[in-house]
Each structure stands twice: as C-alpha cells, then as structure tokens.
Amino acid sequence: MWFYLVTLVGLYYLLRWYRERQVVSNLQDKHVFITGCDSGFGNLLARQLDRRGMRVLAACLTEKGAEELRKKTSDRLETVILDVTKTESIVAATQWVKERVGNRGLWGLVNNAAVFPPISYIEWLKPEDYMSVFQVNLIGLAQVTLSMLFLVKKAQGRIVNVSSVLGRVAFFGGFYSCSKYGVEAFSDILRREVQDFGVKVSIIEPGSFKTRMTDPELTMERSKKAWEAAPEHVRESYGQQFFDNFYRVTKQNLMMSNTNLNVVTDCMEHALTSTYPRTRYSAGWDAQFIFIPLSYLPTSLADYILTRSRPKPAQAA
C-alpha cells in the first residue's frame, strides 16, 4: 500500500519537474515589461532577464533609478518613467511599449511596483498612511494590466503579479495585507477571463525579504511616527509598553529577513520562460513551510498560533 502511494507521489513530482524544465522558444525575441525597477525585485529581475537575452522594458519611478539600471545592463534594455498612480503616465507608458513591441505584442507583463506602509496596528493609522498603499499595490496594478492587456493577448503571453504571503495570511502589515488580498483576487479573476486567449497569469507570493522598501530602520521609524500621531485614547488603550515590545520584536523580525532576492526573481523568471508556468509561486522558506500551511488550517487554530505569544494591550479585556 505505502509502496504504491510513494511511487505515485514520486512519479507526480518527476513529471512536474520534467514539465517545468520545458522552456519557450525564441526568448531573445520576446519583450517583457516590468514595473518598479528602481530597486529590489524589479531591478534584479530586469538585470537577470537582460543577461538571458530577453528584450527588457523596465519602468522606473525616477530618472536616477533608470540611469543606474541602464549602467548595469546591455543596450537591449530600455527604460521608461512610470508612476502607476497616474492614469496619464500609464497611458504614455502603454504607447511607449506598443511602439517597441510592434505586431509581436508584449510577451510578459510583470506587476512588481509596490509600497509598504508603516508596520502597525490598523487603528494607529490615518487615511494618508494607507490610501497610497491601495493606489499603488492594487489599483495601479489593475490599471497597468488593463491598459496593456491587448498587447499581451496579441503575443499570447504572460502576466506575473507580485502579491505576498500576507495576501494569504493577514497576520501583520495592516493595509498592506488588504492590498495584497486584492491582488490575489484580481489575479484569479483575470486568469479565468483571459485563459481562452492563450494568456497565462501567475502570482508570486514572497515571504519576508530585505529590500529598500522593508529596510528595518526606515520602516520602524515610520511605524514610530504613526504611533505618536495616533489619537491619545488609542495609545492609552494599548499602552506605551505594548508599543515598545511591538517595536522591538517587529524590528528584530525585519532584520532576520531573507537577503537572497534571487529566490523571488527566479520564480518570476520561471513564470515568464517556462512552457508550463505555475499559477502560484511561494518564495522563501517562511512562505513555504510556515504561512502557506497556516492558510489551510481552520481559522480558529491559525488565530491561536499567530496570536498566542503576542503581548496584551494595557486595556485588554
């Protein structure tokens, strides 16, 4: 009995390994548009695909970021300035991409641009702290996708949306998790709607990685400012000692984040170049062995595991 079960499981993974090693042809002729290439995952992916010979169209928020990226890549790579929160910027970038891809269409669209709010309890934040998170992480992602979808359909290409493990288990990150849950839903809907056009949609769900966006010092300084700006009655309900413990533990966790960004960009590259890309890629040991398994547990059990060691607020019942 066990022999047959182990054999079947082994054959399944062997078949999957073989299928996932199949690479699409003529990669050197395929264009890939990537948002958020100033730093982090987008910057690394742009350089990675450029080394592989693909035609990378890298969108940066600043001219400085674009210039630094061009210095590290070949002449094949081209850059454009894009602010995903502005419709006119998206329209201009779409026209720019259309002029470069021509009748071949756009093989790959990687929605990587994102912002990270202060790490805090949601009660500590003001609207200006989190509105930009939705504008960039979800609304901007959707607008870029819908603006360029006709080009991807023409190439029967790929769309890769960068979500987060926090889009599966919302245990901290507040409105960042909310935005990434939205990315998950948008990607699922989109995948089912465009599959008849030959377009494949993949979701990347990274765990905790150290990038410029999640720098421990800068992130926690913003969290401290959010706490200090919270209404007095909110701060009294939690207590200063609660915040001090929260600050210390969160900063320690951020400092322990994975520094090997290739774990994520390798998943992105596979989604763009494999004949049989996965629907979801969990990147990082914490995503694969902690948070994704947690997402399948009963809610009450997951809540207990995630909150049992958390300090209690001053006015907790």
Residues with a catalytic annotation lie at 176
Say if CB 287 and CB 163 are below 8 A apart.
no
Say if CB 252 and CB 130 are below 8 A apart.
no
The sign of the torsion formed by the CA atoms of 73, 92, 279, 26 equals: negative
- What letter represents residue 197's amino acid? F
3-state secondary structure the chain: CHHHHHHHHHHHHHHHHHHHCCECCCHHHCEEEECCCCCHHHHHHHHHHHHCCCEEEEEECCHHHHHHHHHCCCCCCEEEECCCCCHHHHHHHHHHHHHHHHHHCCCEEEECCCCCCCCCCHHHCCHHHHHHHHHHHHHHHHHHHHHHHHHHHHHCCEEEEECCHHHCCCCCCCHHHHHHHHHHHHHHHHHHHHHHHCCEEEEEEECCECCHHHCHHHHHHHHHHHHHHCCHHHHHHHCHHHHHHHHHHHHHHHHCCECCCHHHHHHHHHHHHECCCCCEEEECHHHHHHHHHHHCCCHHHHHHHHHCCCCCCCCCC
